Structure 1
Amino acid sequence: MLKNDTFFPIRYEKTRPFLKELNSLANGKKSAELFQTDNTMIFQNIIFDEMVKAEEKLPIGILGDEKSFNLKLARELNYYWFYYTWLKNGKNNFYFKKELLTMFEFSDVDKIPFSTIKMPFDSFYISFSDLDRMFGIDTAGTEIYIDGVMVVKNFNKDNQLDFFLNAFTKNSKKSKDWLLNKFASLYGDWFRINYNLDTDTLKNTGFIPKFLDNNANENLTEGTRIFFSQVVNLILNSICYLSSPIEKPRSAWPDGAPKNLTEKAQNGTTKRKREVAISELQNKGYTQVKIFGESYKTSNSNLETKNVASHWRRGHWRNQPFRTENETKLIWIKPTIINKEKGKPEKGKIYNVE
């Protein structure tokens, strides 16, 4: 079963009452123009008005003080910027299966040249929900799970990628209360990675959660550092995979999409018929997803059930010459399991083998 309504841009699209008005104003503008001062004030005022309307229907003080309100307003502006870049670039969603993501966790990317990474689009969404991994617990004690990450190529700096790591609560349902409803709540944090263009390798990673200042990286706990290091590794492996011709994904529509339209979109006898069906599905609120890693499900299914591994040998990505001296392509040297006969590998026990 494929459900994509937990994806950040899908959930945002289904819950924000001001979206049509903002999209009308933003239509035709470049992503960089959205945050010019005049545009920012217009968008902010529209969002502010809707927030005030929603707050009037809630118990007094439930949103906190003025500072808390303004913080949420600022976050909503950033949500829209991520959403609009995704919309403008074709609403692309990539879903990676658990078995493939597990292999990414045991593959290194810190030596990959930035010039090698070929972004499929300037903005897209990657879902990690198949990992079923906790992000944390909210103030009400509800467990929050990682869903995925918005990836945006920074429009001002050639060596920078911006991310929004998104999380969600399971079994939450949409309601009219978009401000506090758990389905509409966009848990997560922004962060970015920068590459040193002089050496063309990964320079540093960092993020600035809502509760930390610009010197946040100096104050992070070791556990938080490790968590975000793992997340960045997962993201970059996913982008490298998208950059290489390893696998042709399967395109799918989410559960609940009208079967007659999905069949026409997939198997229509003419290009025009397929395009019409896709347009109808999109008008009904359905967004197509490209699925990667299904071939690994069978090959890796024995790793846990048969207890056949003792440890992982880490994989890595290699930048290999291709066709001419000036052309290269990414080659994935996959992680492998050593001493299979000795049982299941210990979690967290990783061996680096040159």
Structure 2
Amino acid sequence: MAFDADALHPMRFLRQFPEAKAIIRREVNHCHNGLLSGEAFQRVVNAGMTAYNQALDKLPFEKRPATTDIAVAAIGTAAHLVAFAAGGRNSIWLPAEIVALLGRTELGDIRLADMRLPFRCFYLGFAGGLEVGLPGAPNVIDGAYVESFARGPNNDVAPSLSFYITSRRTDGPHRGPGAWILGHEPHFFAPLTLNSPGDTLQGALDRAISANDVGLRPDPDALARLRQGVEEARNDGFPVGLPALSGYERDALYNQAAYPTARNVLALLCNALCLLSTEPALGAPEWPKQAPASLVNVVENATTPKRRRTAAGRLAEDGYFAVRRLDFRLGMAESRADEAADPDLSGREVAAHWRRGHWRRQPHGPGLTERRLIWIRPVLVRQDRGEPAVGHLYAVTEQDR
């Protein structure tokens, strides 16, 4: 499937919610170490609610959402776009054949500290999307914002590695006034705190669940404040009602439904980060087809760095930026495993199947104290017996790595 850079989530969201462009321009310089200041985030909230109310006025009553959940979600996404812009607007997309192999790779006991992120904040996209989606309207998961930053006033608190999983609606496109409301795309946010270099993905997830960082339970203190506020308003004579489910409770129910899928996607994303840690080649920058050709030409061919930077800045302000392909080449001998012997079969006749891959933490460096990740890739056993029961086969050409 051909990849279209225009379809990547950051650019798609900016087209759907154009007000986010002004938010990013205003707040990008207020995002330090990947985090918005409290005042900056409040400005994002105010701008998002203003845009939501203006869009809502253009929708007929029967199409208006019953809650402000979509507004809250769009504001959260806009905040991640600000961090994405502050981090350099870096995007990497994974070809479908690489995604398929990573999906058949066990993460095992790989430490999160073994992963080397190419950028502090970037977007990692899956070409064509995955075959699974998040709860809600029809969608497929198409990538995630990956964010790493130190915390605390002096950057002295345990660092965080966060994943903001995105999805693409499959029942669109939605156009016209309020399209970003009607075409809301679900997401899932998983902030992980790294307490020690030996943390594994499962350990960090277990801790995030225990601390309720992934929001599987409604915050009891927030619920208590909400109920107290409603009660005080009623005592003052205001006819305020309390919904059957508060926003906190709706969020928790959504996260509970999304978590089983999100957990598998998090493992896939961590496998992708492991692959990036091996420093594979990245393809040449690809610009969206909708980007102004004259500006792209200046970025690619101008003779002075200043002209190239100016043109790239103008493209970024309009919501366009380059995307790079993860160019991990598969050699024929590495990708064709139909004749591989399975040591556990002992001569038994078996159907074609995939033997899962894994990662090896190879010692290296002074005194062999450092670790380098080596990908032991999945192999297809007994392809001569037909197609495997699960998974796709991709034709690859023999290339030198």
TM-score w.r.t. the length of structure 2 is 0.70
After superposition, the CA RMSD in angstroms is 3.6
Letter in 1 for 2:286: A
Distance in 2 separating the partners of 1:186 and 1:225: 16
Letter in 1 for 2:186: Y
Correspondence for 1:322 among 317, 342, 364 = 364
SS in 1 for 2:363: strand
Distance in 2 separating the partners of 1:149 and 1:191: 10
Which residue of structure 2 lines up, in the alignment, with residue 351 of structure 1? none
Which residue of structure 1 lines up, in the alignment, with residue 57 of structure 2? 56
By how many angstroms is 1:125 displaced? 0.7
Q: How many residues align?
A: 333
Which residue of structure 2 lines up, in the alignment, with residue 169 of structure 1? 169
Counting only pairs closer than 5 Å after superposition, residues 161-240 of structure 1 correspond to structure 2 as 161-170=161-170, 172=173, 174-182=175-183, 185-195=184-194, 197=196, 199-202=198-201, 203-205=203-205, 207-208=214-215, 220=256, 226-240=260-274
Distance in 1 separating the partners of 2:166 and 2:186: 6
Which residue of structure 1 lines up, in the alignment, with residue 36 of structure 2? 34
By how many angstroms is 1:137 displaced? 7.2
Distance in 1 separating the partners of 2:50 and 2:309: 37
Q: Label 1:24 to 1:146 Cα distance change in 2 as closer, same or farther (>3 A).
A: closer
Larger strand fraction of residues: 1
Please identify, of 265-274 and 7-16, the stretch whose mean Cα deviation from structure 2 is larger: 265-274
By how many angstroms is 1:271 displaced? 4.9
Q: Label 1:51 to 1:237 Cα distance change in 2 as closer, same or farther (>3 A).
A: same
Contact 1:8 1:186 in 2 (8 A): no
Overall identity of the aligned pairs, in %: 22
Q: Label 1:275 to 1:30 Cα distance change in 2 as closer, same or farther (>3 A).
A: closer
Correspondence for 1:82 among 46, 70, 80 = 80
Counting only pairs closer than 5 Å after superposition, residues 290-301 of structure 1 correspond to structure 2 as 290-293=324-327, 295-296=329-330
Contact 2:101 2:377 in 1 (8 A): yes
By how many angstroms is 1:250 displaced? 3.4
Unaligned runs of at least 5 residues, structure 2: 152-156, 217-246, 339-349, 392-401
By how many angstroms is 1:260 displaced? 6.2
Which residue of structure 2 lines up, in the alignment, with residue 335 of structure 1? 378
TM-score w.r.t. the length of structure 1 is 0.78
Contact 2:92 2:123 in 1 (8 A): yes
Which residue of structure 2 lines up, in the alignment, with residue 91 of structure 1? 89
- Structure with higher Rg: it is 2
Distance in 1 separating the partners of 2:252 and 2:187: 19
Contact 1:261 1:281 in 2 (8 A): yes
Distance in 2 separating the partners of 1:279 and 1:299: 44
By how many angstroms is 1:324 displaced? 2.1
By how many angstroms is 1:35 displaced? 5.0
Distance in 2 separating the partners of 1:208 and 1:10: 27
> Residues 215-258 of structure 1, C-alpha deviation per residue, up to 9 Å, x if partnerless?
769x957xx66533321121001111111123343322223445
Distance in 2 separating the partners of 1:109 and 1:212: 32
Unaligned runs of at least 5 residues, structure 1: 349-354
Contact 1:99 1:296 in 2 (8 A): no
Distance in 2 separating the partners of 1:214 and 1:169: 20
> Residues 240-291 of structure 1, C-alpha deviation per residue, up to 9 Å, x if partnerless?
1111123343322223445565565445566556545545544554321111
Letter in 1 for 2:91: N
SS in 2 for 1:58: coil
Which residue of structure 2 lines up, in the alignment, with residue 286 of structure 1? 320
Correspondence for 2:148 among 142, 145, 153 = 153
Distance in 2 separating the partners of 1:335 and 1:29: 44
> Residues 142-182 of structure 1, C-alpha deviation per residue, up to 9 Å, x if partnerless?
x3122111111254364532222111124515534244242
